[in-house]
Amino acid sequence: MPSPADTSPALHALIVEDDAQLSALLVLQLGGLGYAVTAAGDGRTAIAMLAETRYDVILLDRMLPAMDGVDVLRRIRAEGIETPVILLTALGLTPERVEGLDAGADDYIVKPFEIDELNARIRAVLRRRATPAADNATLTAGDVTVSVLRHRVTRAGKPIELQKTELKLLAELVREAGSVLSRKMLIERVWGYDFVPATNIVDVHILKLRQRLEMPGLPDPIVTVRGVGYMFRG
């Protein structure tokens, strides 16, 4: 599993969470993944800390005492702090999600979540900040090329026939090649669902995609990351 420690100096994360136990668990788990983590118990403390220190990412609880998470977010954005923010929430309700994103959140994660899921989302957010998405361009990773607009896929120069959903899934994996995409992230981005389906529809499609991309002598370009999701080899 890729961890920040592999690449460079530790990423500095600020956790704003009033549930002390959950906060402690997150500090422990993210620390285990190589992050440098600081915790704040409420919004005011967090705003004060942000004035002093620069963080790489903020994990902000949606429901905080005294000052709501979305209010905190609006305040820090109003003060010109552009640090990526991921909202943590107990409810995955669409209006809340929209409100959070409108207030300037980069992503949204519904409690409870696997630490790997959070890690994948932090990575995705940081990557998106570093390289703005090129939605309509031709995407390439390794020997695979995807042209979303023309609905064309090739591997090692040979055309591959894909169904619409398969192509959307491949495009998402190729665009973020080298990073882990969780099943939930794929469900949101490829299928556009704001709920978790009861069936293993991501795995079924990955399996099909692997079959379609299979070529003698070439390795499987999709890596399964146990307990999290999938990654396209960069």
Partner 1 sequence: MARRQIRSLGRIAIGFALGVSAATALAGAGTYLALLDSIDRQVDLRLQGEARELLEGNATVPEIARRIARESSERESADIGFLLLDPRGRPLAGNIAPAVPLPIGLSTVREDAGITGLSRGRAWVRRLPGGETLAMVAESEPIDQHDRGRVRILVLGFGALVALLLLGTVALVRAIRINIAAIAGTAEAIIDGDLRARVPVDRPSSVFGGLALTFNRMLDRIGELMAGMRSISNDIAHDLRTPLARLHGRLAALANAPEAAPVREELAAAVAESEEILAIFAAILRISEIEGGDRRAGFERLDLAALAADVGEGLQLLVTESGRAFVPRLPDTPVPVEGDPRLLTQLLVNLIENAVTHTPRSTKIRLDVRRAEGMAVLEVADNGRGIPAEEREHALRRFGRLDASRHTRGHGLGLPLALAIARLHHGTLTLEDARPGLCVRIRLPLAD
> Backbone phi, then psi, for 195, in 5-degree steps?
-140, 165
User: Per rule CB under 8 A, is residue 101 in the interface with partner 1?
Assistant: no
Residue 152 and residue 221: Cα distance in Å, rounded? 18
Rule CB under 8 A: choose which of 54, 150, 158, 164 binds partner 1.
Answer: 164
Which DSSP string do the residues of 70-86 spell out, in sequence order?
HHHHHHHHHTT----EE
Cα(first)–Cα(last) distance of the chain, in Å? 14
Q: Which one of 76-84, 108-116, 126-134, 173-181 is the stretch in contact with partner 1 (CB under 8 A)?
A: 108-116
Rule CB under 8 A: choose which of 56, 106, 107, 166 binds partner 1.
Answer: 166
Q: How far is CA 79 from CA 76, 126, 199, 223, in A?
A: 5, 20, 44, 41
Residue 171 and residue 146: Cα distance in Å, rounded? 6
Residue 35 and residue 29: Cα distance in Å, rounded? 9
Q: Lay out the site mask for partner 1 across 18-47 (x = CB under 8 A, - = otherwise).
A: -x-xx--x--xx------------------
Q: Which is nearer to partner 1, 35 or 76 (CB)?
A: 35
Name which of residues 42 to 81 contact partner 1 (CB under 8 A): none
If you search the block for the tokens 């991501």, which residue do you land on?
202
User: Per rule CB under 8 A, is residue 165 in the interface with partner 1?
Assistant: yes
Rule CB under 8 A: choose which of 78, 134, 149, 198 binds partner 1.
Answer: 198
Rule CB under 8 A: choose which of 27, 81, 201, 223 binds partner 1.
Answer: 201
Cis amide linkage into residue 197, ω under 30° from 0: no
User: Per rule CB under 8 A, is residue 196 in the interface with partner 1?
Assistant: yes
Interacting residues with partner 1 (CB under 8 A): 19, 21-22, 25, 28-29, 90-95, 110-112, 114-115, 163-166, 190-199, 201, 204-205, 207-208, 227
